[in-house]
Structure 1
């Protein structure tokens, strides 16, 4: 068996590699990575250089491959969105369907394809909920990827699977998500607060308690990278994943009120309430639990503890590879 991976140098890829290599299930498999701007130096990884937008490079990377794990993505980068998110996906699927050795295609999708906090759902978001991208090129490309994968399955009968993940957390990510000083991701505080207010909250090490459009505390879906990796390992070469879409998220959405209460109690941090126009949604992971036997191990308490007690080593700088 030979696995081709895109996005191996990213957050998920960096956590996937050691777990994949340690798993007895994949003993005897070989691993190839298609890399463009960033390269991984590992004895167990064969590197093919090239862009996803280059059909010849993609077809060369697919040579003798049995399984594909497609994780490469760009965020709000309009100049790259078509090349990576659409043309890249098309090239991979074309090479896969014409291959004599290809057996399974696994896509890592995102809950931006269902609008996460931007669109209101009156019931839990399941795999049959409508695709509803929020504004921006990233969400649009993730919707197109899901649709393209489904249509290739219908058109050509390929064995395809999509794991739809919400915001992926690792290390101290959550701490920076909630920071007024060096924020990671969104929503951007300047959309709701003045610069003076942001500076005051930063100096106080305050914790934001976001309110949704109804005034209730905002509930948003997250998944720890280790739990997403475990889902990937379960889905690879698994007949139960054939032709399926799975939501891969924490069992319960993260409630900003619960986060604020825990950090106030454990760290004595002040809480700042912020009204937003966003919607509380629940990404239902029942199907992944039932069909794959997957269980997320990181709950809210552990997610917070890991983020607040994580200490970065000198050779582990905080890097954000993409805008947005």
Structure 2
């Protein structure tokens, strides 16, 4: 059994992974800042931190603190690197902060390992579907193409379609791991750099690297107050407080929503499975779901009837569609998701009803983005 360090291990995914690894007999160390954006104004009272408190070796610190990271890495056999700032929209104006935490924190960790004795044998890095930008499409003659980011001018005119020069129409297909990397947000850029740093440096210092490009992770326990946590939390919180739902673009934009327990299962394989070494994997369901479908399904399951308005608003940096090709992780690790969207959102909705609405900074976050010209 191994001693596993989870950076960001008190977060939504990290805390569940910690408990799963403990259940399998591993020892777990966690370093986490207990950020108020994730854990609320009284972080040590948060449910996520409470789930692991007293069960793991906990270090209250940041991956950007070299001394804290040196202590965190001492004696560990494997690292799961979750610690990161995660808001796509927020990253477009907190550029220095996102770069310092996501890129700088990863650089400090690798620098420590490259310049001192260590016993780390494997490192799993949490990458993201955001590295793919607008994803993969096929032309009418079957050629794979990777469209550039949509323009503000097109979207302001109500044209949200993804375009490729010289083609009247292109068809969305699943994004495989060999697809072009061309992120459309600062967040996506930092995740690409994190992944590439880990995959490049680790083999030179005797560590097996593994990267997981997680799709849109959701499930019980994710923050209802963090405005950057995802549309399921945002929409459900708005519904429970009796507020209207404003849907961006035309509502048909889609994502691959993957349940948190499946993400944890895949990540455990990343820690333990010999076949994961040196590989990059998508982790999703392989099924796209539209934003308007999410809103309508949540309203039905929560027993709410909010006014829903498709606004035509959009955020610069957002992509139109993306869903994962899951064939590599199934072939090499034997992983297939156990939770489809309907089952997962039912479990999520049941948890939301038992938890109740939370005070959220969602409206304030939209105003901030609007003031900076990022929300149109």
TM-score category (smaller protein): 0.7 to 0.9
- Distance, in Å, in 2 between the alignment partners of 1:243 and 1:284 is 19
The answer to whether the 8 A contact 1:210-1:256 is kept is: no
In structure 2, the CA distance between the partners of 1:144 and 1:271, relative to structure 1 (3 Å rule), is: same
The alignment's TM-score, normalised by the length of structure 2, stands at: 0.67
Q: Is it true that 1:132 corresponds to 2:182 in the alignment?
A: yes
- Distance, in Å, in 2 between the alignment partners of 1:279 and 1:50 is 36
| CA offset digits 1:28-83 (Å, max 9, x no partner) | x3211123346646333112343312223222221111100110111334343233
| CA offset digits 1:204-248 (Å, max 9, x no partner) | x66859647xxxx32212211111111111111221110011000
- Distance, in Å, in 1 between the alignment partners of 2:216 and 2:359 is 17
Partner of 1:282: 323
- Distance, in Å, in 2 between the alignment partners of 1:82 and 1:211 is 32
Q: Is it true that 1:110 corresponds to 2:110 in the alignment?
A: no
Partner of 1:162: 211
The alignment's TM-score, normalised by the length of structure 1, stands at: 0.76
Match of 2:272, SS state, is coil
The answer to whether the 8 A contact 1:180-1:206 is kept is: no
How many pairs align? 295
Q: How far apart are 1:156 and its partner, in Å?
A: 4.3
Shifted more, 95-104 versus 167-176: the winner is: 167-176
- Distance, in Å, in 2 between the alignment partners of 1:134 and 1:84 is 19
Matches within 5 A, 1:54-65: 54-65=65-76
Q: Which runs of 5+ in 1 are unaligned?
A: 184-201
Which of the residues 282, 289, 309 maps onto 1:247?
282
Q: Is it true that 1:305 corresponds to 2:329 in the alignment?
A: no
Q: Is it true that 1:293 corresponds to 2:334 in the alignment?
A: yes
In structure 2, the CA distance between the partners of 1:280 and 1:80, relative to structure 1 (3 Å rule), is: closer
In structure 2, the CA distance between the partners of 1:311 and 1:179, relative to structure 1 (3 Å rule), is: closer
Partner of 2:254: 219
In structure 2, the CA distance between the partners of 1:319 and 1:293, relative to structure 1 (3 Å rule), is: farther
Q: How far apart are 1:287 and its partner, in Å?
A: 1.1
In structure 2, the CA distance between the partners of 1:268 and 1:79, relative to structure 1 (3 Å rule), is: closer
In structure 2, the CA distance between the partners of 1:30 and 1:175, relative to structure 1 (3 Å rule), is: closer
- Distance, in Å, in 2 between the alignment partners of 1:180 and 1:52 is 31
Q: Is it true that 1:151 corresponds to 2:200 in the alignment?
A: yes
